[in-house]
Amino acid sequence: MAQAVRALWPGGLALTWRLGGRPALGLPAQSRAGLTGAAGGPGPAATTRKGGPRLLGAAALALGGALGLYHTARWHLRAQNLRADRSAAQLSVSSRLQLTLYQYKTCPFCSKVRAFLDFHALPYQVVEVNPVRRAEIRFSSYRKVPILLAQEGDSLQQLNDSSVIISALKTYLVSGQPLEDIITYYPPMKAVNDQGKEVTEFCNKYWLMLDEKEAQRMYGGKEARTEEMTWRQWADDWLVHLISPNVYRTPTEALASFDYIVKEGNFGTVEGAMAKYVGAAAMYLISKRLKSRHHLQDDVREDLYEAANKWVAAVGKDRPFMGGQKPNLADLAVYGVLRVMEGLEAFDDLMRHTHIQPWYLRVEKAIAEAPE
Active site residues: 104, 107, 109-110
Q: Which residues pair with 103 in a beta bridge?
A: 128
List for the chain the helix, strand, coil content (%; round to 5): 60, 10, 30
Residue 273: C-alpha distances to residues 153, 259, 266, 269, 279 (Å): 43, 9, 12, 6, 9
C-alpha 52/C-alpha 87 separation (Å) is 52
C-alpha 131/C-alpha 1 separation (Å) is 9
235: closest CA among 328, 335, 347?
A: 335
What lies within 8 Å, CB to CB, of 38 at 6+ separation is 61
C-alpha 70/C-alpha 60 separation (Å) is 15
Which region holds residue 204: left if phi is over 0, alpha if psi is between -120 and 50, else beta? left
Q: For residues 343-371, b (16+ Cβ closer than 10 Å) or e, as one string?
A: ebbbbebbbeebebeebbebbeebbeeee
C-alpha 289/C-alpha 291 separation (Å) is 5
Q: Decide: 7 and 286 in contact? Cβ < 8 Å.
A: no
| Cis ω before 146 (30° cut-off from 0) | yes
354: closest CA among 302, 299, 319, 314?
A: 302
Q: Decide: 349 and 303 in contact? Cβ < 8 Å.
A: no
Max alpha carbon distance in the chain (Å)? 98
What lies within 8 Å, CB to CB, of 180 at 6+ separation is 152, 155, 157
